[in-house]
Amino acid sequence: MKRASTDGHSPHAPLFPSRFDGFGPSRFRPAEEVPIVDEIRGRHPGTLHREVKRHAPVAPGVYGMLDRHHRLIYVGKAKNLRCRLLSYFRENSRNPKAGKIIEPTRRLVWEQTGDEFAALLRELELIQRIRPKFNVRGIPGLQRYHYICLGRPPAPYVYVTSRPTGNESAIYGPLVRWYRSETAARRLNDWFRLRDCPQSVALHFADQGELFDPERAPQCLRYELGTCLGPCAGTCTRREYAERVRAVKAFLDGRNRSILRQLHQQMLAAAAALEFEKALSLREKLTAVQWLDERLRWLRRARNQGTFVYPLRGVDDRHRWYVLDRGQVRAVVYAPTAANRAAVAATLTAIATDAPRPAILSETAVDSVLLVLGWFQKYRDERAQLFTLAQAQQLLQET
């Protein structure tokens, strides 16, 4: 039953025709690698169970569940395909979701990978591309990506949106947990005394020359509470407001984190004075801003980290190089030999001389970076295997 994937699909062919020919091309395997794919069919879970025991390999890879309409309803990964697939049929110990997935399944398909890391990458790639219903069902709104933005002059403020227009002064993200981002944005606007009123509210700066100088009242209570400079009432100059905008941008950029220190000192002082309600309020503000600071620092590290090579020996005894750039796997090649040395060198050079990466990580990139970060957190010793592009070039010369 085993066969090599053709990875070829007619543009008008159904995604999964009657004969399964593979999950399609992948960025996460060497160009010359032809993966082994296989499938089993059965009208009932019992039939599928017997076929899995007969044919599923003891090898890492990805698998898919197809319903009677040949629609892919779920994609998973496994360090051991045989063990993972058999777990779906253990009614007394399986996850309830596994039962819901296997019940409508009429075809089980799988694709072997060289190692577990490749299986993780391939699973993410397929979910992002195909979005099978059991992989995306039930994702709560708080997990959807959104961005912290700083608006345009004359009076920018911090806000949250899922769809930046590109006209913002600055964009940070993507992030998850919308309510936490909104809380942090509100705390920042209060601390730096930036407005948060609708765009329809007219602005009148103190240095804005007018023929007449009418009395203007603030449009909300934030000015009275000391959490807004009041650009709607002419109580600040453009320069004063711009200074606050520069200060909040310095925090969001990671250049000035003094707000964290000041909030912490004020919280301790309030507690020492037995002003516990005030201390609790300051702690809530500090927690919100700290959460945002940690997320933005992580994104900056992911964006700014260099390019490395992660060598892995697969279950097929072949050595693969995963080329990591800013936390993402940009290419996978077989370890260099006399036969492929030129191709490997060309790949590394192309990545090293690539155009600058965007300052904002895309949603797809964030998922990929999270996966890689999680891998090296789980297998911390693997970090010692990484080597730089310069070291990779040296190895190429020695091949």
Q: Cα(191)–Cα(195) distance, rounded to whole angstroms?
A: 11
| Residue boundaries of the structural domains of the chain | 3-136, 142-300, 305-398
Can you give the pTM of this predicted structure? 0.75
Q: Tell me: pLDDT of 282 over 70.
A: yes
**What integer pLDDT is reported at residue 137 of this predicted model?**
64
Q: Which long-range contacts (CB under 8 A, 24 or more apart) does 256-259 make?
A: 257/293, 259/188, 259/191, 259/289
Summarize pLDDT for 63-94 with one digit per residue, the tens.
Answer: 999 999 889 999 999 999 999 999 999 988 88
Q: Cβ distance 86 to 129 under 8 Å? A: no
State whether residue 210 is helix, strand or coil.
coil
Facing residues of 307 across strands?
325
- Dihedrals φ, ψ of 44, to 5°? -135, 150
Q: What is the mean pLDDT of the chain?
A: 87
DSSP-assigned letter for residue 198: -
Domain spanning 3-136: CATH superfamily: GIY-YIG endonuclease (3.40.1440.10)
User: What is the average per-residue pLDDT within 172-189?
Assistant: 93
Give yes or no for residue 105 having a pLDDT over 60: yes
Please tell me which residue, 8 or 129, carries the higher pLDDT value: 129
Compute CA distances 209 → 27, 217, 235, 246, whole Å.
60, 18, 13, 24
Nearest alpha carbon to residue 30 among 316, 308, 305 = 316
The predicted model gives 12-40 an average pLDDT of 76
DSSP 215: -
Point out the least confidently predicted range of 5-14, 77-86, 104-113, 192-201: 5-14
Query: Which token pair is 274?
Result: 């037995």
Q: What is the pLDDT of residue 28?
A: 95
Q: Two tokens at 291?
A: 């959460």
